[in-house]
Structure 1
Amino acid sequence: MADDKIKGPASYFPSIEKTYGRPIAEWKALVRGRMPARHMELVAMLKADHGMGHGHANAIVAHTLAEQGE
């Protein structure tokens, strides 16, 4: 069913894992290890330190911060 389709930042996760070769849990742990920090600082870290594209980095940061309640 179309209602079962993953939406939001998590919809990027399969592509992120395939492209960068690491599970999402590892990316989230990297983000949590740099907290507290602003959203865009975390995005910039993933882009600069790990060569991640902006959309993928933003998806990981947004999902991680949402889980943290921030």
Structure 2
Amino acid sequence: MKGPASYFPSIEEKYGRSISEWQTLIRSSELTKHMELVSWLKSEHGLGHGHANALVAHTLKEDAAG
């Protein structure tokens, strides 16, 4: 795995939620900007910067691709 997805196994192991659960949380947030979402995941859910950034980048890329 390359890119943001390379973080996914450690995210699931460390925080106890599946990637799809994190993506649902991100998509249900009223926030839309990358760094706003990263900051929110860090402050509200205790994720580290790299993990939050990977989740947001991957989710926004998926959403943009339709």
Q: TM-score range by the shorter chain?
A: over 0.9
| Post-superposition offset of 1:34 | 1.2
- Indicate the residue corresponding to 1:30 in structure 2: 25
Structure 1: 5+ residue runs without aligned partners? Answer: 1-5
Matching residue's letter, 1:19: K
Q: Distance in 2 between matches of 1:19 and 1:34?
A: 22
Q: Distance in 2 between matches of 1:21 and 1:48?
A: 17
Rate the CA distance shift 1:36–1:52 in 2: closer, same or farther, 3 A: closer
Q: Distance in 2 between matches of 1:44 and 1:25?
A: 19
Q: Distance in 1 between matches of 2:11 and 2:21?
A: 11
| Post-superposition offset of 1:8 | 0.3
- Indicate the residue corresponding to 1:51 in structure 2: 46
Q: Distance in 1 between matches of 2:45 and 2:11?
A: 12
Runs of 4 or more, structure 1, over 2 Å off, are none
Q: Distance in 2 between matches of 1:29 and 1:62?
A: 14
| TM-score after normalising by structure 1 | 0.88
CA RMSD of aligned residues (A): 1.3
| Post-superposition offset of 1:36 | 4.9
| Alignment length (residue pairs) | 65
- Indicate the residue corresponding to 1:3 in structure 2: none
- Indicate the residue corresponding to 1:21 in structure 2: 16
Structure 2: 5+ residue runs without aligned partners? Answer: none
